[in-house]
Structure 1
Amino acid sequence: MSPVRDADRARTAARRAVARRLHPDMGGDTAAYLDALAALDAAPAWRPVPAAPVTFRRTRWSRARSGLRRQRRRWLARHRSSRYTEL
């Protein structure tokens, strides 16, 4: 399993444990519950950094599609009627 998913699972487990202990519906104090969640969210361990920067590559199809759109826009700009006639 990747380190990011493991960190997400650990974070979820910690939040659930806090909810089981302090949630107002289970008889806990609202302020204590919110403080505990804020402390969990503020901890730097809950913000994992990806191992490598995420990059997005354009596929051959997306490049072709954008080129076709560009050609269509140019063709329409040249061939649209710019004259108006009154009936």
Structure 2
Amino acid sequence: MDLSGVIWRKSRRSGNGGADCVEVGVLEAPNGLAAAHKSDEDRLVVMRDSKDPDGPKLFFTESEWQAFSGGMGDGDFDDLI
């Protein structure tokens, strides 16, 4: 899968110089076909571990990303750790 055109971003809240965090980028079609189960989407948000940039990735549709990021902002996951 070609992610060479993805511009990766880290949170401003990343500690330790951003070494221990996730990175997020946007994958535009037609490369979105890399996530076959979401291949009808024009854009996907991609998340990866900054310590392992060649490792596994998570792919979100725009609506999935909005729900996830909204839940983070609302504190829906604060009790997990």
TM-score, normalization by structure 1: 0.21
Greater Cα radius of gyration, structure 1 or 2: 1
Higher relative contact order (CA 8 A, sep 6+): 1
TM-score, normalization by structure 2: 0.23
Answer 1 or 2: which has greater helix percent. Answer: 1
